[in-house]
Structure 1
Amino acid sequence: MRNAQPETLTLDRLQTPVGTALLVTDEDGVLRAFNWTDYEPKMLAWIARHYPKARLGEGRSPVRPAFEAYFAGDARALDRTPWKASGTAFQLKVWEALCTIPAGETLSYRGLAERIGRPSAVRAVGLANGANPVAVVVPCHRVIGTNGSLTGYGGGLPRKKWLLSHEGASFREQLAA
């Protein structure tokens, strides 16, 4: 992977069981952003801020086959997908720790804070988790509440529930109020 800013980014749209996914890769085929079409304006603004000189064009992403395999049932298909994210040193540490949570397992925000050696930084870990620009590959959806309940997910709780169920993870359903 290059250290320099990408010159070209490719946006691919992939139909999934939970909506159309947006895959953004650089000229080396490294995932730089992931989101859902209902959050496309927010993602495009993020790309403009973090990669201001990059040209964004639509095309087929080289990571598409891994995503297709994942959504077809191979929960580990994204494990070796190359990614690079623009973030602070703390955010990168949290995102790297997220990648240590295997498919089919979950971890609490507190557990994630402990995993990075910052047990009192639970809120900061939550904010870093929510700022993850390469979701699903960096599996922020695998972080749940201490009591096992589903908590926030940038793509919406119904998607988080689907992703965790798809991977065979256990969690506690929230009861409707």
Structure 2
Amino acid sequence: MRIVEGLRAGENRLTKHMAFWDSVWARGLLPPVEDAAEHTKLWWAAAVLMAAGGGWRGRRAAGAGIAGMAMAQVLSNWVAKQLVERRRPPKEWFPHEDVEDRPDSSSFPSGHTAAAVAFTTAVAPTWPWAGAACAVPTALVAIERVHSGAHYPSDVAAGAVIGVAAAAVVRAAPRLLLRHLE
């Protein structure tokens, strides 16, 4: 029981620390990242760019990314959020206005992070350069979700795990289907 309480206290301290992170970099970069990640716009735009400019590899990577993102959305928003009810971090912890614009759904897990990680993880094996390029905004989305007051760090970590799992399922599905059809 003490271990759980200690973990919770540590997570609360980290959340508050990230909330008060007030640098020019954070103020200038994180709000646009949040806007771009809303409704997965950032990842759809990345997929369009990959498909339009990357030839067969870009189209294949874009398709894998979109499929991974879709799977992550289902797993995080339609399954996990229905199973785990967790309140968002208290608004009092956040000194900025971003905290006013948060969803009403369960805090656990971060669907934005799940989608971002799934997209990037599904793209990387097909087109490593594009996967590396997507990793930067993926990390920024994860940071932003805590900084804005939408999630605790463990929500973001769970979203990342769901994203990796979703990408793995999408990457394995064709092989599994072929094996089943033989």
The structure number with the bigger radius of gyration is 2
Bigger proportion of residues as strand: 1
Superposition TM-score, scaled by structure 1 size: 0.30
Bigger proportion of residues as helix: 2
